[in-house]
Amino acid sequence: MTGLLVVVGVLAAGTVIGFVLRGREGAVRSGQQRGELPARVAEALGPGVTLVQISTTFCAPCRHTRARLSALADKRADLSHVDIDVTNQPEIAETLGVLRTPTTIAYTSAGDEILRVSGLPETNRLLTALQPHLSEH
């Protein structure tokens, strides 16, 4: 009987954790300044807003995120996208506080973090959150 209770408890906990993680997938969170930007990120910043995607080599959602963000940036002059593969540069992810890939961080041209999204970003939510930082389009 005790074994059955343990199994049920583990399944219940796993289900709750799964729902929490799924609810956070693609959610837009406000940005936080984490100190000085790594040189690779600072060099990538352009005019307007830059979407910095943190990826790894074997990340399937990273490919979908790259396609979505590139298409979005191609449509707007005030938005750019850069993908940084941290497979061989984990210190970049550590400095930025990135725990999973893909993570997208939006920066102003001055290097201020606007927002971040873990997982595949939803285009309309992302644009809505970025709107105050973009020029009229």
pLDDT above 80 (res 33):
no
Round to whole Å and give the CA distance between 77 and 86.
27
Please write the tens of the pLDDT for every residue from 61-87. Answer: 999 999 999 999 999 999 999 999 999
Question: Is the bond leading into 132 cis (omega within 30 degrees of zero)?
Answer: no
Please write the tens of the pLDDT for every residue from 81-119. Answer: 999 999 999 999 999 999 999 999 999 999 999 999 999
> For a pLDDT cut of 70, what percent of the chain falls above it?
84
Round to whole Å and give the CA distance between 124 and 104.
15
Closest by alpha carbon to 132, among 6, 55, 28?
28
CATH architecture of the domain covering 27-133: 3-Layer(aba) Sandwich (3.40)
Round to whole Å and give the CA distance between 58 and 10.
30
